[in-house]
Structures are given as C-alpha cells and as structure tokens.
A and B are shown apart, each in its own frame.
Chain A
Amino acid sequence: MQSGRCIRTLLGLAAAIWLVGSSVSPLSAADESVVEFIDAQLTQSWSDNEVEPSAAATNDEWLRRAYLDIVGRIPSVSEYDEWSATEAPRRKAELIDRLLDSPDYVRNFTTIWTNECIGRGTPRRVSRKAMEKFFREAFAKNRPWNEVVRDLVTAEGHFEENGAVNYILAQTQMRDDAVQLTAKTTRLFLGIQVQCTQCHNHPFNDWQQNQFWEFNGFFRQVRRIDRRRQDPNTGRLVDDYSEVVRQDFTGPVYFEKRSGLMQVAFPKVNGREIDPNSEDRRGELGRLLIESPEDDTPLIALAFVNRMWAHFFGYGFTRPVDDMGPHNPPSHPEILERLAVEFVKVNYDVPKLIRWITNTRAYSLGSQFDAQNSIDNPGGGEMPLFSHAYLRSMEAEQLYDSLIVATNAHQSGQSGWDDQEAQRRRWMQQFVVAFDNDENAESTTFNGTIPQALMLMNGELTETAVSAQPGSFLHDVLSSRENDAKKIHKLYVAALSRMPTRGEQAKARKLFREYGASGRVTAFQDLFWALLNSNEFIFIH
C-alpha cells in the first residue's frame, strides 16, 4: 500500500473498475462447489430444525451489509447509484470481488487485526503504526494467513522496523514469564482458551495445566528490551525504542501444581515436541503451527474460519469464537471443517474464504423474521441456525467511517492514511477503558450506550454533517435544483442506502411544513440528523 487515501481512492476507482470485467464469472467451479456445499448443509439444518429461512434481503440491504462487512463502511451515494443502475445477473458476486480488490478492504481488516493484536488503546511501548503497516502489507499482498501467524509468533527486532514485533510487545506488558502471550496466542490464533489452565487443569476442555506450560515453553526465549535515551534538552531519560530479541533459555519450564508440587514442562504443542535444546523455539513453533499434520485440519485454519464466519454473520460456529474444543462442539461442524480444509487447500487465501462465505445463500438472507424461524434467536441464547441475518451494531470504526462517507467529510481536507488513522484513533479514545491488569484487557463504552447516543446526537462529527457548510454533502444536496422529494430521497440514500417509502416521503414533507419557508434548511438538517441517529443507521441488517 503506497497511498493512504483509501476512501477517496476507492470512490475514484469505483467508476473505473465498473467499466471493466464483468464478463467472467467471479467464482470458479471449485469455489462454486464450496458454496453449494454450505448451502446444502444449511438447507438440511433448517429442515432438521423445522425452520424456514427468511426471504432474501433486498438488494439495497444486501449492498449495505456487504460494504460494512468487507470494507467497513456504508456505500456512498454514487456507489449506491451505480449499483442500482447495474443489471448484471451476477452483480453480487462481482461486487464482492470488487470490494475485495479495494484499498478499503485492506484498511478494514488491518483495523480489525490490529485491534485484536494490540487492543484499541495502544499499550505503552507499542507502535500502532508499525503494527498497522504489517497488516496492511499482509492484506494488500494477500499473504497466506499461516505465514502471517508465523511472522507474528516468531517476530524479532526493532518495533518500527518489524511491525510484527508489536504483537509480542503488547502481550508482554508485565514480567509474567510470557503467560499472557501464551494465553493470547492460543485464543487468537488457535481458537483455544487456556488462560485458566495456568493454575489448574481446565474444567471442561482437555487442556491440562502441563499443556499450558508446554506451550508457554516456546515463548521463554522472548526477551523484550525497552531502550531509553537521554533527552538532549532536559537531560532526562525518555522512552526510545523497544525490541524483541532472543533470550538464552533451554530446558523445561517449572510450574506449581495446586497441591504445591513443582512440575516440569517441555515445549510441546498438539502432541508434537521439539528439541528442548533448540535455540530457535519460536521458529519451531511457527513451523509446527503452519504445517499440515496428517489427517488433521490445522487449528489455525479452523480458528480463522470460525472468526471469519462470525465476522459476516455475527455468530461463529462456537460461542465464544475463541473457545473451540470437544467441550464446546460447533453448531455446524461439517461447514467449519470443510471451509477449513478448503482454506488450507488454497494456501490460506483470505479473500477466497470471504468469497465463499459471502456468496452463500445464508449471507443473502434478510434480517426480518417470522414465526417460521423466530426460534433462530442466538441473541436469546439459542444455537444459531443462520436462517436470517442477525442484527449487529456497527463497530466504532465502522460507524466513524460510515459517518465520514455519508457526509462527504472524506472529500474535504487532504489527509493521507496516517492522518486519517490518527483522527479516527483520537475519536475512538473516548470509548476505550483499559482494565489495567495482566490480561491487557479493555472494554469499550461504545455499543449501544448513552455515551454513544450523546456522541451521535451532539458530537462534532454529527455537527459537521448537518452544518451544511460549503463542500459538505448536505450543502450539495440543498444547493441542487432538484425538488424536495428528490432531496429527501438523497438523504435517505446517503444515510440508509435505500429510498424512502412513499409514506416516509409524505410524513417528512408534512413535518417540513411545520418549519415554514424560513426553516427549510433547518428541516433538512433535522431530517439528516434523525437519519444518522436512527436504529436503522447504526445496525447492520
């Protein structure tokens, strides 16, 4: 990725791309067979559970959802218009391809994985910029996922020169013998929760306390060095750079059983051991994680597929997504397994996996449901059947980027990638609360809360959006020669990616009359304010 102007670049590119290609079917025969397999499995599961799937989402609804899921924002008015004007029989599959080729896809998944690896509030002595750069390159070059994981667990060097190092720096904030790094790595990349086995055998899954420490043994050769330098002005020592280097460590790890007995553990994962005298234990770990063992689907493939499915449907095959194992059987084991096997076959090609998932019938279903499938209610604790789309609240970053697109704020100002990221990050900080413990955990006060509502009602972004300043979307709409109905239509498309119904048009204009002739601008501002504050805007549906 050489340029940062993602949203703008995409808007520019969209028109150009639209003119080329659309003659070839985006899905190969092999792709088709994966999609058909999933469709058949889910159809069977619906009939087994005696539910009828919901009707397909409207084209508009599907478009909005695909944009939010793949590129992390709603479509712009021009993108919506172009889509509406296209009549190609395969236009959904084509749009998916186009979105996967866009810089915003890279940006979206860079954000997601940076947040997973270092959190939203950047821990001390971690370079968010370099972590983002690492993922940006990984997704832009479509690097195989297993190589990405290997780079993260084996990373060494200066935290700005090798961005991958920041994962380890973020997970070694305390001198804890790499306990947090062990727990995080198994959760994030293997889909296994072992944090409680550091103290005792897992009550449910088959991880034993010794396995935690066996896995931990791989990370004992991690040594972080936090360099300091003298500030020439004050003469005081200040943070310079951090790096990860190899620690001289061989032999077993010692741990204490609950009984107080000391035990030893040698580096071992999934029953496979390495030479305890190895001087490159993490290199060995990287090799073990990405190798495909005989007959066994690699955990990193299963874990990634499960996460990716959850990304597009709101629920994975297990709950939580990062707690897989015999104690927590998946809802649709055949689909999970097949997707993981195919994912390995195509050499961990992430966009391919996304193509399979988003081309399924399930992904095209609407979010409205009826008695025929009201029992498919994972929000109420039921096993997800994927017989309708589940309502999801936008993540903070999706909301920010969507507000920017809906209000044209991306077209004013000339900020590049880094500036945009910095602006969004500053805005994000109001919602991040760090827990200040060894899990490096944080919570956000974002999802559906009063602070979120106050931000949307009174915040700067909304203020700007409805200010109707020259250059803004609202200003453009208001100064056009179109009639009020057309203008109202435009506001609906900008915010909700759909046209207003006839009833909505009539009611809006009735309310407009109350504002009188002198209040016309105010009326439009208030309508736009209401659209951006609505439940329909904030939910992915």
Chain B
Amino acid sequence: MKRRHFLQHAAMAASAIPAAGFLSHVRANAATARANQKACILMWMGGGPPTIDLFDLKPGSKNGGEFSPIDTSVAGIQISEHLPRTATVFDDLSLIRSMSTREADHSRGRYYMHTAYVPNPTVTHPTFGSVVSHELASERESLQIPAFVSIGGGGGDAGFLGMAHAPFSVDASGRIRNAPTEESKARLPGRLAMLEEIESGFIKSRRGDLPKDHLAVYRNAVNLMTSSQMAAFDADRAVPGLGLERESTETRELYGSDQFGRGLLMARRLVQVGVPFVEVNMGGWDLHQNVFQTLRDQRLPQLDRGVSGLVQDLKQRGMLDDVVLVWMGEFGRTPRINQNVGRDHWAASWTAMLGGGGLRNGQAIGATDRDGVQIADGSKSYLPGDVWATVAHAMGIPLNTVHTSKRGRPMKLANGGTPIRELIG
C-alpha cells in the first residue's frame, strides 16, 4: 500500500488547493495495473462447526449422527450428503481431518486458531490477517484500502504489529458507515493541515507508541475514503479501470443471497483490487442442541452454496491459483451426541479445509479413529500454525519471517508451524 502521507498533502495550503488536486493522484494510482497477486480468503465458522457431520462422517459409529456420506469429485473422498455442490468442486479443495488443538473455549479457541499462539496475558499476538497485512501491504503500491478486511465479524487484533494492521470490519451489506460526503472530502486538506499540528505535537510528547498508531489509522482511513477502490465493497458498482463490474444476477445466485454468500462475493471483489487478506464470517455453529435439523435446514445449504460458488467463480476468472482458501472455526464438536441432540465443544480431533492457492488439492489428509474421538493411529496431527504456514507458503511469505513483540521477544511466523507437505509438494 502506498503510504501517502496525509500530513504531506495536509501541508498544502487549504484554500489554495482545490479538492480535485487533493484527490487526483489517488486516481492516478488506481489506474496502475497490477500483476498477479496472492491473497487469502479465510472462511471463519464462528462457534465451532461439527465437522464430524460435514467432512469426516462416521457411518456405523454410535457417534455417527443422522447424515450419510456422499462421493465427491475426488475418488475416495466422501463428505456430508447436505453438501452436494461442494462435493462437485473437491478437486480444488482439501481436508485436514486430523486437527488437534487443545483449546475448547470460544475466546481461547478463536485466538489460537487466528494467531497460532495460545493466549498469554503478557502479549497480544497478531491475528494472521494482520501478519499478512504487515508483510504485504507495503509491497502493494496501488492498494488504497486496508490490506486486511473482515466481513461480518470482529476479525481479531493486530496485537504487537500495531493498529495500522488491524482488520477493517464491515458487514456483508458492504455499506461503509460514515463515508464522507463530497463536501467533507473537499474540506479534508484544510482539516488535515490543522490535525497535523495537534497530532504531531502529541506524538512527540513521549507517551509511547499509541499516538503514532492513531496517526497510522487515520492515514489508512483517509486513503480509504478518498479511493475509487471503495467500489469493491459494493456489488452494484462497476469501475472498469479496476476490473470491477456490476455483479450479475447469475453471479449473485452462484454465491447465495445470504450474508455468507454476499460476504464471499465481496471478498472476491476485494481480492480483485489487491486486498491480500479477507476474512468472511459465518456464525451459528455453536450447536449444543438440535444439531442435525439446524445443519440440514439452515447452516449447510448456505455453506454449500457459498463455498462452491466461490470456488467456481474464482476458477472461471482464473484467480483460483492465486487465492488460498481456509475454512475453519475455533474447534470441532464432540463426537458424542448430548441429551439435547447437540454436540458440545471438542478440540481433540476435527477437520479444517483448505483450497485454491496453487496447492495440490483434492486430498484428505490425516484421519480420526472409528468413532471420531481421537486422531487415528499413525496419522500425523496438525496445529493452526501448520495451516498458516501452508498459507504463508502459498502466498510467498517467507517462513523464516520473525516478528518482534513489544517486549523484544522474537515471534516466529505461524508459531514456527510447518507447511503441510502433501499440499505443497
């Protein structure tokens, strides 16, 4: 992302510079063509999906539940009967059926799966989207909107990487709240010139890093609100120079009209303008009761359409090899079905899904035992660090990247995880 220093153009005399001057170089940047750019779309399943009913069915076991497996496009891989569309695009997806992650509390699990580190009171680790922003934002000269966008959820914390890499959170409608009017845009140069004085005085006053972080976030906000790339958030808008078209009815139907589908479609548009990391949230997986009916009637039809739509659309556009897909929640759910016909939290043995990104897809890696209660003998188990190391590999982020916490402690990328060998071959 080009760090247009707002203080620089703020220094331009307010009334002497017409608004068009302030905005003109934004347009110039936007027109720059971009080469193939790697990106990651994280499909976050908030609450913890019962992967035993989706991707690792146990027919014949007492834990097996109500669903039957069906064949996918890949010989030997079966998934739930309620994911028929996803089954047809399995050449471009892979399952990791031996996730084993220890954290079975929502907030701890969310933190662990997003950062690859277990929560620690003395340090806040960056969520992986913030890591990607930190590594790639500065290389993307033409990107004017935040390098990490989270759709329909919180999206986590940039931790010691600083607020400039925090997720920009929007809801699936794509409406950016408090977007500027033309008049307020015109007023910006003068206002920013005034702001510079106060802002920099406080930064210099020896009160730590936060005042500087504030400036960085304002800089990102100014870039965003004056950028034509804002159109990426709105499926109705076309910007030919950016390769963005108004989305057709067919495309929208491909993804589904629910929040998840619309979020994924927005994610694709954001990737098109160069955003390297987008998180799309789908909640409602905390199924302590009535798991099968809820899956069959609500969750799985939406999930199925969204995932399959995204894969197909990216493929048709020739983007799939550049976009690595990650599908997971904070944990899986208990193999044992509880007295409320639900499943509770379970981190010991569950499934995550990867796809696209030039990985060797169409595989099911690892396995659980007959009843799904532990990783099968002889099967390697995987941690979130291994998932993120695989993503880093696919995106070309060097695995030996080390960040330094504010305390000066070295922090390995993805907590030193290893790319999953079968996928990167």
Contact = CB atoms under 8 A, between A and B. Distances in A.
Interface of A: 174-176, 195-196, 199, 318-320, 323, 328, 367-370, 377, 379-382, 391, 393, 430, 433, 435-439, 441, 443, 445, 448-455, 457-459, 496, 504, 507-508, 511, 514-516, 519, 522-523, 526-527, 529-531, 533-536, 538-539, 541
Given A435-B154, A449-B169, A458-B225, A536 B210 contact: no
The 9 A-B residue pairs with the shortest CB-CB distance, nearest first, are A380-B406, A443-B154, A530-B194, A453-B221, A436-B283, A381-B122, A535-B214, A319-B121, A437-B286
B181 A368 contact: no
Interface of B: 13-16, 46-48, 104-108, 110, 121-123, 146, 153-155, 160, 163, 166, 168-169, 176-181, 184, 187, 190-195, 197-199, 201-203, 205-211, 213-215, 217-218, 220-221, 224-225, 283-284, 286, 288-289, 340, 345, 405-407, 409
Given A175-B340, A454-B177, A536-B202, A526 B187 contact: yes
B177 to A, nearest CB: 6
A539 B108 contact: no
B210 A539 contact: yes
Contacts of B215: 535
Given A196-B108, A438-B288, A530-B194, A450 B207 contact: no
Given A433-B153, A519-B15, A507 B169 contact: no
A536 B221 contact: no
A531 B14 contact: no
Contacts of A541: 207
Nearest to A366: B207
A526 B213 contact: no
Contacts of A527: 194
B288 A433 contact: no
B406 A458 contact: no
B217 A449 contact: yes
B232 to A, nearest CB: 15
A450 B133 CA distance: 15
Contacts of B146: 450
A449 B166 contact: yes
Contact of B194 (A377, A433, A451, A508): A508
B12 to A, nearest CB: 10
Contacts of B203: 535
A115 B218 CA distance: 28
Given A457-B180, A457-B221, A526-B187, A196 B46 contact: no
A168 B106 CA distance: 20
B46 A437 contact: yes
B286 A514 contact: no
Given A450-B146, A454-B178, A504-B201, A176 B210 contact: no
A535 B207 CA distance: 11
Given A368-B205, A377-B406, A515-B15, A533 B288 contact: no
A448 B168 CA distance: 11
A368 B206 contact: yes
Contact of B405 (A319, A320, A381): A381
A391 B208 contact: yes
A326 to B, nearest CB: 15
A453 B214 CA distance: 9
Contacts of A508: 194, 197
Contact of B106 (A318, A437, A457, A530): A437
Given A445-B154, A530-B198, A391 B177 contact: no
B332 to A, nearest CB: 13
A455 B177 contact: yes
Nearest to B145: A450
B286 A438 contact: yes
15 contacts: A367-B207, A391-B207, A391-B208, A435-B110, A436-B46, A439-B107, A445-B154, A448-B213, A450-B217, A454-B224, A457-B225, A514-B13, A529-B191, A533-B195, A535-B214
Given A450-B220, A530-B195, A368 B169 contact: no
A511 to B, nearest CB: 6
A439 B106 contact: yes
Given A433-B169, A451-B178, A458-B180, 18 more contacts: A176-B288, A368-B205, A435-B106, A435-B153, A438-B106, A449-B166, A449-B169, A450-B220, A450-B221, A453-B217, A453-B220, A454-B224, A515-B190, A530-B191, A533-B218, A535-B210, A538-B214, A539-B214
B42 to A, nearest CB: 16
A74 to B, nearest CB: 15
Contacts of A531: 194, 198
A504 B202 CA distance: 12
A451 B169 contact: yes
Nearest to B152: A433
Nearest to A514: B13
Nearest to A378: B122
A510 to B, nearest CB: 10
A448 B166 contact: yes
Contacts of B406: 377, 379-381
Given A174-B289, A379-B208, A453 B105 contact: no
Contacts of A381: 122-123, 405-407, 409
A320 B122 CA distance: 9
Contacts of A496: 198
A206 B252 CA distance: 53
A424 B352 CA distance: 41
A175 B180 CA distance: 45
Contacts of A445: 154-155, 169
Contacts of B211: 391, 535-536, 539
A516 B356 CA distance: 58
A125 to B, nearest CB: 17
Nearest to A507: B197
B194 A526 contact: yes
A450 to B, nearest CB: 5
Contact of A435 (B46, B168, B176): B46
Contacts of A457: 178, 180, 184, 218, 221, 225
B394 to A, nearest CB: 27
Contacts of A453: 217-218, 220-221
